[in-house]
Structure 1
Protein backbone atom coordinates (compact mmCIF):
# COMPACT_ATOMS: atom_id res chain seq x y z
CA UNK A 1 0.00 0.00 0.00
CA UNK A 2 1.44 3.38 -1.00
CA UNK A 3 1.79 6.27 1.43
CA UNK A 4 -0.70 8.28 -0.65
CA UNK A 5 -3.40 5.63 -0.12
CA UNK A 6 -2.58 5.53 3.58
CA UNK A 7 -2.97 9.31 3.70
CA UNK A 8 -6.39 9.04 2.05
CA UNK A 9 -7.52 6.33 4.48
CA UNK A 10 -6.40 8.36 7.47
CA UNK A 11 -8.05 11.47 6.02
CA UNK A 12 -11.35 9.59 5.75
CA UNK A 13 -11.03 8.36 9.34
CA UNK A 14 -10.31 11.90 10.54
CA UNK A 15 -13.26 13.38 8.66
CA UNK A 16 -15.64 10.78 10.11
CA UNK A 17 -14.45 10.90 13.72
CA UNK A 18 -13.53 14.54 14.39
CA UNK A 19 -17.08 15.53 15.31
CA UNK A 20 -17.87 12.58 17.55
CA UNK A 21 -16.64 12.09 21.17
CA UNK A 22 -14.65 8.99 20.20
CA UNK A 23 -11.20 10.61 19.75
CA UNK A 24 -10.20 11.26 16.15
CA UNK A 25 -6.53 11.39 17.19
CA UNK A 26 -6.89 8.04 18.93
CA UNK A 27 -8.38 6.53 15.79
CA UNK A 28 -5.55 7.98 13.70
CA UNK A 29 -2.88 6.60 16.02
CA UNK A 30 -4.42 3.13 16.07
CA UNK A 31 -5.08 3.11 12.32
CA UNK A 32 -1.59 4.41 11.66
CA UNK A 33 -0.17 1.53 13.68
CA UNK A 34 -2.16 -0.99 11.63
CA UNK A 35 -1.05 0.68 8.40
CA UNK A 36 2.58 0.84 9.57
CA UNK A 37 2.45 4.62 9.26
CA UNK A 38 4.44 5.95 12.19
CA UNK A 39 7.44 8.07 13.15
CA UNK A 40 7.88 11.79 13.90
CA UNK A 41 6.54 12.91 10.52
CA UNK A 42 3.49 10.66 10.93
CA UNK A 43 2.72 12.27 14.31
CA UNK A 44 2.77 15.72 12.69
CA UNK A 45 0.63 14.40 9.82
CA UNK A 46 -2.02 13.13 12.26
CA UNK A 47 -2.21 16.54 13.93
CA UNK A 48 -2.21 18.64 10.77
CA UNK A 49 -4.90 16.75 8.84
CA UNK A 50 -7.36 17.53 11.64
CA UNK A 51 -7.38 21.04 10.19
CA UNK A 52 -9.25 19.68 7.18
CA UNK A 53 -12.16 18.54 9.33
CA UNK A 54 -12.01 21.68 11.46
CA UNK A 55 -12.40 23.83 8.33
CA UNK A 56 -15.85 22.30 7.94
CA UNK A 57 -16.76 23.71 11.37
CA UNK A 58 -15.48 27.13 10.30
CA UNK A 59 -17.84 27.10 7.33
CA UNK A 60 -20.77 25.89 9.43
CA UNK A 61 -20.40 28.49 12.19
CA UNK A 62 -19.06 31.38 10.09
CA UNK A 63 -21.76 33.80 11.25
CA UNK A 64 -20.88 33.19 14.90
CA UNK A 65 -17.15 33.70 14.21
CA UNK A 66 -17.93 36.85 12.21
CA UNK A 67 -19.96 38.25 15.10
CA UNK A 68 -17.18 37.52 17.59
CA UNK A 69 -14.61 39.06 15.23
CA UNK A 70 -16.67 42.23 14.76
CA UNK A 71 -17.03 42.62 18.53
CA UNK A 72 -13.28 42.16 18.94
CA UNK A 73 -12.61 44.97 16.47
CA UNK A 74 -15.02 47.17 18.40
CA UNK A 75 -13.33 46.18 21.66
CA UNK A 76 -16.84 45.21 22.76
CA UNK A 77 -16.08 41.92 24.49
CA UNK A 78 -18.10 41.96 27.67
CA UNK A 79 -20.89 44.23 26.47
CA UNK A 80 -21.93 41.98 23.59
CA UNK A 81 -24.81 39.65 24.26
CA UNK A 82 -24.13 35.95 24.37
CA UNK A 83 -20.86 34.30 23.42
CA UNK A 84 -17.90 36.64 22.98
CA UNK A 85 -14.13 36.59 22.62
CA UNK A 86 -13.54 36.36 26.36
CA UNK A 87 -15.37 33.02 26.48
CA UNK A 88 -13.17 31.73 23.66
CA UNK A 89 -9.93 32.94 25.23
CA UNK A 90 -10.76 31.50 28.65
CA UNK A 91 -11.50 28.13 27.06
CA UNK A 92 -8.33 28.03 24.96
CA UNK A 93 -5.65 29.26 27.35
CA UNK A 94 -5.38 26.23 29.71
CA UNK A 95 -4.78 23.65 26.95
CA UNK A 96 -2.44 26.02 25.13
CA UNK A 97 -0.26 26.45 28.22
CA UNK A 98 -0.15 22.71 28.94
CA UNK A 99 0.65 21.95 25.29
CA UNK A 100 3.50 24.46 25.16
CA UNK A 101 4.99 23.09 28.40
CA UNK A 102 4.69 19.39 27.60
CA UNK A 103 4.37 19.10 23.80
CA UNK A 104 7.59 17.08 23.42
CA UNK A 105 6.51 14.60 26.10
CA UNK A 106 3.02 14.37 24.61
CA UNK A 107 4.33 13.59 21.13
CA UNK A 108 7.00 11.13 22.27
CA UNK A 109 5.11 9.28 25.00
CA UNK A 110 1.38 9.43 24.26
CA UNK A 111 1.09 8.91 20.50
CA UNK A 112 1.09 5.12 20.69
CA UNK A 113 -1.50 2.30 20.85
CA UNK A 114 -1.26 1.62 24.60
CA UNK A 115 -1.70 5.26 25.75
CA UNK A 116 -4.59 5.64 23.28
CA UNK A 117 -6.36 2.57 24.66
CA UNK A 118 -5.99 3.98 28.18
CA UNK A 119 -7.39 7.31 26.96
CA UNK A 120 -10.35 5.63 25.25
CA UNK A 121 -11.34 3.80 28.43
CA UNK A 122 -10.69 6.69 30.83
CA UNK A 123 -12.51 9.13 28.55
CA UNK A 124 -15.46 6.76 28.27
CA UNK A 125 -15.72 6.50 32.06
CA UNK A 126 -15.65 10.31 32.32
CA UNK A 127 -18.46 10.58 29.77
CA UNK A 128 -20.63 8.08 31.65
CA UNK A 129 -20.02 9.90 34.92
CA UNK A 130 -20.89 13.27 33.36
CA UNK A 131 -24.01 11.98 31.63
CA UNK A 132 -25.37 10.44 34.84
CA UNK A 133 -24.38 13.23 37.24
CA UNK A 134 -27.11 15.26 38.91
CA UNK A 135 -26.75 18.95 38.16
CA UNK A 136 -28.65 22.20 37.81
CA UNK A 137 -28.69 23.26 34.16
CA UNK A 138 -27.89 26.97 33.85
CA UNK A 139 -26.95 27.26 30.15
CA UNK A 140 -29.35 25.80 27.59
CA UNK A 141 -27.58 27.33 24.59
CA UNK A 142 -24.01 28.40 23.88
CA UNK A 143 -25.00 32.06 24.36
CA UNK A 144 -25.99 31.23 27.94
CA UNK A 145 -22.49 30.17 29.01
CA UNK A 146 -20.85 32.28 31.68
CA UNK A 147 -17.10 32.90 31.96
CA UNK A 148 -16.64 30.40 34.78
CA UNK A 149 -18.18 27.64 32.67
CA UNK A 150 -16.05 28.62 29.65
CA UNK A 151 -12.86 28.45 31.71
CA UNK A 152 -13.93 25.16 33.32
CA UNK A 153 -14.58 23.63 29.90
CA UNK A 154 -11.12 24.86 28.91
CA UNK A 155 -9.63 22.96 31.85
CA UNK A 156 -11.40 19.78 30.76
CA UNK A 157 -10.05 20.35 27.24
CA UNK A 158 -6.56 19.77 28.66
CA UNK A 159 -7.48 16.08 28.96
CA UNK A 160 -7.76 15.94 25.18
CA UNK A 161 -4.00 16.43 24.89
CA UNK A 162 -3.87 12.73 25.82
CA UNK A 163 -4.81 10.95 22.57
CA UNK A 164 -7.87 8.80 23.15
CA UNK A 165 -9.65 11.12 25.57
CA UNK A 166 -11.25 13.11 22.73
CA UNK A 167 -11.56 16.88 22.67
CA UNK A 168 -15.33 16.84 22.22
CA UNK A 169 -15.76 14.02 24.75
CA UNK A 170 -13.74 15.88 27.38
CA UNK A 171 -15.27 19.31 26.82
CA UNK A 172 -18.87 18.10 26.52
CA UNK A 173 -18.42 16.06 29.70
CA UNK A 174 -16.95 19.13 31.39
CA UNK A 175 -19.84 21.26 30.19
CA UNK A 176 -22.40 18.82 31.58
CA UNK A 177 -20.64 18.72 34.95
CA UNK A 178 -20.55 22.53 35.00
CA UNK A 179 -24.26 22.95 34.30
CA UNK A 180 -24.60 23.36 30.54
CA UNK A 181 -26.92 21.42 28.28
CA UNK A 182 -25.36 18.84 25.98
CA UNK A 183 -26.31 21.03 23.01
CA UNK A 184 -24.60 24.11 24.48
CA UNK A 185 -21.47 22.14 25.37
CA UNK A 186 -21.33 20.58 21.89
CA UNK A 187 -21.73 23.92 20.12
CA UNK A 188 -19.02 25.51 22.28
CA UNK A 189 -16.73 22.54 21.67
CA UNK A 190 -17.00 22.93 17.91
CA UNK A 191 -16.54 26.69 18.07
CA UNK A 192 -13.30 26.56 20.07
CA UNK A 193 -11.96 23.67 17.98
CA UNK A 194 -11.05 25.96 15.08
CA UNK A 195 -8.60 28.34 16.84
CA UNK A 196 -7.29 25.51 19.05
CA UNK A 197 -6.49 23.21 16.12
CA UNK A 198 -5.11 26.04 13.99
CA UNK A 199 -2.76 27.03 16.79
CA UNK A 200 -1.69 23.46 17.60
CA UNK A 201 -1.11 22.57 13.95
CA UNK A 202 0.91 25.70 13.16
CA UNK A 203 3.07 25.19 16.24
CA UNK A 204 3.64 21.56 15.35
CA UNK A 205 4.49 22.38 11.75
CA UNK A 206 7.03 24.95 12.92
CA UNK A 207 8.60 22.56 15.43
CA UNK A 208 8.79 19.82 12.79
CA UNK A 209 10.01 22.03 9.95
CA UNK A 210 13.28 20.11 9.63
CA UNK A 211 11.36 16.86 9.05
CA UNK A 212 9.02 18.24 6.40
CA UNK A 213 10.27 17.11 3.03
CA UNK A 214 8.30 17.81 -0.15
CA UNK A 215 6.95 14.23 -0.04
CA UNK A 216 5.75 14.70 3.54
CA UNK A 217 4.01 17.97 2.64
CA UNK A 218 2.26 16.27 -0.28
CA UNK A 219 0.97 13.52 2.00
CA UNK A 220 -0.29 16.13 4.49
CA UNK A 221 -2.07 17.96 1.69
CA UNK A 222 -3.71 14.71 0.54
CA UNK A 223 -4.84 13.93 4.08
CA UNK A 224 -6.02 17.51 4.64
CA UNK A 225 -8.16 17.60 1.47
CA UNK A 226 -9.60 14.14 2.12
CA UNK A 227 -10.58 14.92 5.71
CA UNK A 228 -12.12 18.24 4.63
CA UNK A 229 -14.28 16.62 1.93
CA UNK A 230 -15.44 13.79 4.18
CA UNK A 231 -16.10 16.17 7.06
CA UNK A 232 -18.17 18.49 4.87
CA UNK A 233 -20.38 15.53 3.97
CA UNK A 234 -20.66 14.25 7.54
CA UNK A 235 -20.55 17.36 9.71
CA UNK A 236 -24.24 18.35 9.82
CA UNK A 237 -25.47 14.82 10.51
CA UNK A 238 -22.84 14.12 13.15
CA UNK A 239 -23.29 17.43 14.95
CA UNK A 240 -27.01 16.75 15.24
CA UNK A 241 -26.21 13.25 16.49
CA UNK A 242 -23.83 14.40 19.19
CA UNK A 243 -26.39 16.90 20.49
CA UNK A 244 -29.12 14.28 20.85
CA UNK A 245 -27.52 10.92 21.58
CA UNK A 246 -26.59 10.26 25.21
CA UNK A 247 -22.87 10.09 25.92
CA UNK A 248 -23.16 6.54 27.27
CA UNK A 249 -23.58 5.21 23.72
CA UNK A 250 -20.34 6.84 22.60
CA UNK A 251 -18.63 5.50 25.73
CA UNK A 252 -19.79 1.99 24.87
CA UNK A 253 -18.32 2.34 21.38
CA UNK A 254 -15.02 3.47 22.89
CA UNK A 255 -14.88 0.41 25.17
CA UNK A 256 -15.59 -1.95 22.26
CA UNK A 257 -12.95 -0.22 20.10
CA UNK A 258 -10.39 -0.41 22.90
CA UNK A 259 -11.07 -4.11 23.35
CA UNK A 260 -10.77 -4.88 19.65
CA UNK A 261 -7.51 -3.00 19.23
CA UNK A 262 -6.07 -4.55 22.39
CA UNK A 263 -6.61 -7.96 20.81
CA UNK A 264 -5.47 -6.95 17.32
CA UNK A 265 -2.57 -4.60 18.04
CA UNK A 266 -1.17 -5.37 21.49
CA UNK A 267 -1.70 -9.09 22.10
Structure 2
Protein backbone atom coordinates (compact mmCIF):
# COMPACT_ATOMS: atom_id res chain seq x y z
CA UNK A 1 0.00 0.00 0.00
CA UNK A 2 1.44 3.39 -1.02
CA UNK A 3 1.92 6.19 1.47
CA UNK A 4 -0.59 8.32 -0.47
CA UNK A 5 -3.30 5.66 -0.09
CA UNK A 6 -2.48 5.33 3.60
CA UNK A 7 -2.78 9.10 3.90
CA UNK A 8 -6.22 9.02 2.26
CA UNK A 9 -7.42 6.38 4.73
CA UNK A 10 -6.05 8.28 7.72
CA UNK A 11 -7.51 11.59 6.54
CA UNK A 12 -10.98 10.09 6.26
CA UNK A 13 -10.61 8.60 9.73
CA UNK A 14 -9.47 11.99 11.08
CA UNK A 15 -12.39 13.82 9.48
CA UNK A 16 -14.92 11.36 10.89
CA UNK A 17 -13.54 11.10 14.41
CA UNK A 18 -12.11 14.54 15.27
CA UNK A 19 -15.32 16.14 16.49
CA UNK A 20 -17.14 13.02 17.66
CA UNK A 21 -16.48 11.94 21.28
CA UNK A 22 -14.67 8.79 20.21
CA UNK A 23 -11.01 9.93 19.99
CA UNK A 24 -9.42 10.82 16.67
CA UNK A 25 -5.90 10.30 18.07
CA UNK A 26 -6.85 6.88 19.35
CA UNK A 27 -8.30 5.82 16.02
CA UNK A 28 -5.29 7.19 14.12
CA UNK A 29 -2.89 5.24 16.36
CA UNK A 30 -4.87 2.04 15.75
CA UNK A 31 -5.16 2.56 12.00
CA UNK A 32 -1.46 3.48 11.80
CA UNK A 33 -0.68 0.22 13.56
CA UNK A 34 -2.72 -1.87 11.12
CA UNK A 35 -1.70 -0.17 7.86
CA UNK A 36 1.89 0.24 9.09
CA UNK A 37 2.21 3.97 8.49
CA UNK A 38 5.06 4.65 10.90
CA UNK A 39 7.99 6.99 11.42
CA UNK A 40 8.48 10.67 12.25
CA UNK A 41 6.57 11.88 9.18
CA UNK A 42 3.60 9.67 10.08
CA UNK A 43 3.44 11.26 13.54
CA UNK A 44 3.57 14.75 12.06
CA UNK A 45 0.97 13.82 9.44
CA UNK A 46 -1.51 12.73 12.11
CA UNK A 47 -1.25 16.15 13.75
CA UNK A 48 -1.04 18.40 10.70
CA UNK A 49 -4.11 16.98 8.92
CA UNK A 50 -6.10 18.35 11.86
CA UNK A 51 -5.69 21.73 10.14
CA UNK A 52 -8.34 20.62 7.67
CA UNK A 53 -10.72 19.93 10.53
CA UNK A 54 -10.02 23.41 11.95
CA UNK A 55 -10.98 24.96 8.61
CA UNK A 56 -14.28 23.07 8.62
CA UNK A 57 -15.25 24.70 11.94
CA UNK A 58 -14.32 28.14 10.63
CA UNK A 59 -16.37 27.63 7.47
CA UNK A 60 -19.46 26.32 9.25
CA UNK A 61 -19.39 28.88 12.08
CA UNK A 62 -17.88 31.89 10.29
CA UNK A 63 -20.81 34.18 11.06
CA UNK A 64 -20.65 33.31 14.74
CA UNK A 65 -16.85 33.48 14.99
CA UNK A 66 -15.99 36.52 12.85
CA UNK A 67 -16.26 39.61 15.09
CA UNK A 68 -15.94 42.32 12.44
CA UNK A 69 -18.85 41.48 10.16
CA UNK A 70 -20.70 44.56 8.91
CA UNK A 71 -23.95 42.70 9.50
CA UNK A 72 -23.31 42.55 13.24
CA UNK A 73 -24.33 45.24 15.68
CA UNK A 74 -21.74 46.65 18.08
CA UNK A 75 -23.21 44.50 20.84
CA UNK A 76 -22.93 41.32 18.78
CA UNK A 77 -19.36 42.21 17.81
CA UNK A 78 -18.51 42.55 21.50
CA UNK A 79 -20.20 39.22 22.21
CA UNK A 80 -18.09 37.54 19.52
CA UNK A 81 -14.86 39.02 20.88
CA UNK A 82 -15.89 37.91 24.38
CA UNK A 83 -16.50 34.39 23.06
CA UNK A 84 -12.99 34.31 21.59
CA UNK A 85 -11.55 35.53 24.91
CA UNK A 86 -13.29 32.67 26.70
CA UNK A 87 -12.02 30.16 24.13
CA UNK A 88 -8.45 31.42 24.63
CA UNK A 89 -8.94 31.20 28.40
CA UNK A 90 -9.99 27.57 28.01
CA UNK A 91 -6.96 26.92 25.79
CA UNK A 92 -4.41 28.07 28.41
CA UNK A 93 -4.27 24.83 30.48
CA UNK A 94 -3.62 22.68 27.39
CA UNK A 95 -1.00 25.12 26.08
CA UNK A 96 0.95 25.03 29.34
CA UNK A 97 0.62 21.33 30.15
CA UNK A 98 1.08 20.32 26.52
CA UNK A 99 4.35 22.24 26.27
CA UNK A 100 5.59 20.63 29.48
CA UNK A 101 4.54 17.02 28.97
CA UNK A 102 3.82 16.45 25.25
CA UNK A 103 7.04 14.56 24.44
CA UNK A 104 6.84 12.44 27.60
CA UNK A 105 3.21 11.52 26.94
CA UNK A 106 3.96 10.68 23.30
CA UNK A 107 6.84 8.45 24.35
CA UNK A 108 5.06 6.60 27.17
CA UNK A 109 1.36 6.53 26.29
CA UNK A 110 1.02 6.46 22.49
CA UNK A 111 0.21 2.75 22.22
CA UNK A 112 -2.82 0.59 21.52
CA UNK A 113 -3.35 -0.62 25.09
CA UNK A 114 -3.54 2.92 26.47
CA UNK A 115 -5.99 3.80 23.71
CA UNK A 116 -8.18 0.78 24.51
CA UNK A 117 -8.32 1.50 28.24
CA UNK A 118 -9.05 5.19 27.65
CA UNK A 119 -11.81 4.34 25.18
CA UNK A 120 -13.53 2.07 27.71
CA UNK A 121 -13.19 4.49 30.63
CA UNK A 122 -14.43 7.40 28.52
CA UNK A 123 -17.37 5.35 27.29
CA UNK A 124 -18.39 4.47 30.85
CA UNK A 125 -18.17 8.14 31.88
CA UNK A 126 -20.41 9.16 28.96
CA UNK A 127 -23.04 6.60 29.99
CA UNK A 128 -22.88 7.72 33.64
CA UNK A 129 -23.24 11.35 32.59
CA UNK A 130 -26.24 10.60 30.39
CA UNK A 131 -27.89 8.43 33.06
CA UNK A 132 -27.69 11.21 35.62
CA UNK A 133 -28.66 13.92 33.14
CA UNK A 134 -30.39 16.95 34.61
CA UNK A 135 -32.00 19.92 32.95
CA UNK A 136 -29.10 22.12 31.74
CA UNK A 137 -28.58 25.49 33.38
CA UNK A 138 -26.71 26.90 30.38
CA UNK A 139 -28.49 26.77 27.05
CA UNK A 140 -26.57 29.50 25.18
CA UNK A 141 -22.84 29.60 24.60
CA UNK A 142 -22.67 33.21 25.76
CA UNK A 143 -23.69 32.07 29.25
CA UNK A 144 -20.38 30.26 29.75
CA UNK A 145 -18.31 32.27 32.23
CA UNK A 146 -14.53 32.75 32.14
CA UNK A 147 -14.19 30.54 35.20
CA UNK A 148 -16.21 27.78 33.58
CA UNK A 149 -14.21 28.10 30.35
CA UNK A 150 -10.98 27.71 32.31
CA UNK A 151 -12.29 24.57 34.05
CA UNK A 152 -13.40 23.12 30.70
CA UNK A 153 -9.83 23.76 29.53
CA UNK A 154 -8.55 21.48 32.29
CA UNK A 155 -11.00 18.79 31.22
CA UNK A 156 -9.54 19.11 27.72
CA UNK A 157 -6.10 18.27 29.13
CA UNK A 158 -7.35 14.74 29.86
CA UNK A 159 -7.29 14.24 26.10
CA UNK A 160 -3.50 14.25 26.23
CA UNK A 161 -3.99 10.59 27.09
CA UNK A 162 -4.56 9.00 23.66
CA UNK A 163 -7.95 7.37 23.35
CA UNK A 164 -9.61 9.83 25.72
CA UNK A 165 -10.84 12.18 22.95
CA UNK A 166 -10.48 15.94 23.10
CA UNK A 167 -14.08 16.28 22.03
CA UNK A 168 -15.32 13.83 24.67
CA UNK A 169 -13.27 15.43 27.45
CA UNK A 170 -14.52 18.95 26.73
CA UNK A 171 -18.12 17.90 26.11
CA UNK A 172 -18.26 15.76 29.26
CA UNK A 173 -16.64 18.57 31.24
CA UNK A 174 -19.01 21.23 29.91
CA UNK A 175 -22.11 19.10 30.47
CA UNK A 176 -20.96 18.19 33.97
CA UNK A 177 -20.76 21.94 34.65
CA UNK A 178 -24.35 22.41 33.52
CA UNK A 179 -24.37 23.14 29.78
CA UNK A 180 -26.71 21.62 27.23
CA UNK A 181 -25.38 19.11 24.69
CA UNK A 182 -25.51 21.69 21.91
CA UNK A 183 -23.59 24.30 23.90
CA UNK A 184 -21.02 21.73 25.04
CA UNK A 185 -20.47 20.54 21.46
CA UNK A 186 -20.20 24.06 20.02
CA UNK A 187 -17.72 25.20 22.66
CA UNK A 188 -15.73 22.02 22.05
CA UNK A 189 -15.59 22.85 18.32
CA UNK A 190 -14.45 26.42 18.98
CA UNK A 191 -11.85 25.33 21.54
CA UNK A 192 -10.46 22.96 18.92
CA UNK A 193 -9.34 25.92 16.80
CA UNK A 194 -6.49 27.24 19.01
CA UNK A 195 -5.74 23.78 20.42
CA UNK A 196 -5.32 22.04 17.08
CA UNK A 197 -3.65 25.06 15.49
CA UNK A 198 -1.13 25.06 18.33
CA UNK A 199 -0.49 21.33 17.95
CA UNK A 200 -0.04 21.72 14.20
CA UNK A 201 2.38 24.63 14.61
CA UNK A 202 4.35 22.73 17.24
CA UNK A 203 4.65 19.72 14.96
CA UNK A 204 5.73 21.85 11.99
CA UNK A 205 8.38 23.59 14.08
CA UNK A 206 9.81 20.22 15.02
CA UNK A 207 9.52 18.53 11.62
CA UNK A 208 8.54 21.09 8.98
CA UNK A 209 11.99 21.89 7.62
CA UNK A 210 12.60 18.17 7.02
CA UNK A 211 9.41 17.47 5.09
CA UNK A 212 10.14 16.54 1.47
CA UNK A 213 8.21 17.79 -1.56
CA UNK A 214 6.37 14.46 -1.95
CA UNK A 215 5.47 14.54 1.75
CA UNK A 216 4.04 18.05 1.34
CA UNK A 217 1.78 16.71 -1.44
CA UNK A 218 0.66 13.90 0.85
CA UNK A 219 -0.07 16.44 3.59
CA UNK A 220 -2.08 18.64 1.22
CA UNK A 221 -4.23 15.70 0.18
CA UNK A 222 -4.71 14.82 3.84
CA UNK A 223 -5.73 18.34 4.86
CA UNK A 224 -8.24 18.68 2.01
CA UNK A 225 -9.83 15.30 2.70
CA UNK A 226 -10.06 15.84 6.46
CA UNK A 227 -11.67 19.24 5.80
CA UNK A 228 -14.38 17.81 3.52
CA UNK A 229 -15.18 14.85 5.77
CA UNK A 230 -15.19 16.94 8.97
CA UNK A 231 -17.53 19.45 7.32
CA UNK A 232 -20.10 16.72 6.73
CA UNK A 233 -19.62 15.10 10.15
CA UNK A 234 -20.04 18.32 12.16
CA UNK A 235 -23.29 19.13 10.34
CA UNK A 236 -24.60 15.62 10.98
CA UNK A 237 -23.45 15.62 14.61
CA UNK A 238 -25.19 18.88 15.53
CA UNK A 239 -28.45 17.69 13.98
CA UNK A 240 -28.11 14.34 15.73
CA UNK A 241 -27.68 15.71 19.27
CA UNK A 242 -30.71 17.99 18.93
CA UNK A 243 -32.83 14.85 19.12
CA UNK A 244 -30.65 12.16 20.71
CA UNK A 245 -28.10 11.73 23.49
CA UNK A 246 -24.45 10.58 23.52
CA UNK A 247 -25.12 7.01 24.71
CA UNK A 248 -24.40 5.47 21.31
CA UNK A 249 -20.88 6.95 21.43
CA UNK A 250 -20.38 5.59 24.95
CA UNK A 251 -21.36 2.08 23.85
CA UNK A 252 -19.19 2.36 20.73
CA UNK A 253 -16.15 3.32 22.81
CA UNK A 254 -16.64 0.45 25.24
CA UNK A 255 -17.09 -2.16 22.50
CA UNK A 256 -14.12 -0.90 20.47
CA UNK A 257 -11.87 -0.69 23.53
CA UNK A 258 -12.85 -4.20 24.63
CA UNK A 259 -12.17 -5.59 21.14
CA UNK A 260 -8.73 -3.97 21.08
CA UNK A 261 -7.85 -5.36 24.51
CA UNK A 262 -9.03 -8.81 23.44
CA UNK A 263 -7.01 -8.59 20.22
CA UNK A 264 -3.75 -7.73 21.97
CA UNK A 265 -4.37 -10.08 24.90
CA UNK A 266 -4.93 -12.94 22.47
TM more than 0.5: yes
Question: Which stretch shifts more, 136-145 or 4-13?
Answer: 136-145
1:159-208 CA deviation, whole Å, 9 max, x = no partner?
11111111111111001111111111111111111121111111111122
| Matched position secondary structure for 1:208 | helix
Do structure 1's residue 36 and structure 2's residue 36 form an aligned pair? yes
Between the aligned partners of 2:128 and 2:97, the Cα distance in structure 1 is 24
Give the equivalent residue in structure 2 for 1:63.
63
Partner of 2:72: none
**TM-score normalized with structure 1 length:** 0.89
Change (3 A) 1:184 1:233: closer
Structure 2 equivalent of residue 187 of structure 1: 186
Please, which runs of 5 or more residues in structure 1 have no aligned partner?
Answer: 71-75
> Closer, same or farther in 2 for the Cα pair 1:195/1:81, shift >3 Å?
closer
Q: Residues 83 and 144 of structure 1 are in contact (CA less than 8 Å); yes or no, is this contact kept in structure 2?
A: no
After superposition, give the CA deviation of every residue in 1:40-74 in whole Å (9 maximum; x if it has no partner): 2211111111221221111011112112x67xxxx
Q: Which residue of structure 2 lines up, in the alignment, with residue 73 of structure 1?
A: none
Within the alignment, does 1:236 sit opposite 2:232 as a pair? no
Change (3 A) 1:77 1:156: farther
- Whole-Å separation in 1 of the counterparts to 2:190 and 2:88: 12
Counterpart Cα distance in 2 of 1:52 and 1:210: 20
Contact 2:124 2:254 in 1 (8 A): no
Deviates further, 155-164 or 225-234:
225-234
Cα distance in structure 2, aligned partners of 1:13 and 1:250: 16
> Does structure 1 retain, via aligned residues, the 8 Å contact 2:23–2:166?
yes
Instruction: Name the CA distance, whole Å, in 1 between partners of 2:49 and 2:80.
Output: 34
Number of corresponding residues? 262
* 1:113 corresponds to: 112
Partner residue, 2:18: 18
For residues 1-267 of structure 1, the aligned pairs below 5 Å read 1-67=1-67, 80=79, 84-133=83-132, 137-209=136-208, 211-265=210-264, 267=266
Runs of 4+ in 1 over 4 A off after TM superposition: 76-79
- Secondary structure of the residue that 1:84 maps to in structure 2? helix
For residues 236 and 36 of structure 1, the distance between their equivalents in structure 2, rounded to whole angstroms, comes to 32
Partner Cα distance (2:187, 2:181) in 1: 10
- Deviation digits for residues 212-234 of structure 1, max 9, x if unmatched? 23333222222111111222233
- The verdict on how the C-alpha distance between 1:265 and 1:13 changes in structure 2, with shifts beyond 3 A counting, is farther
Q: CA RMSD in A?
A: 2.4
Measure how far apart 1:136 and its partner are. Answer: 6.3
Distance 2:80 2:48 in 1: 34
1 CA distance for matches of 2:19 and 2:217?
25
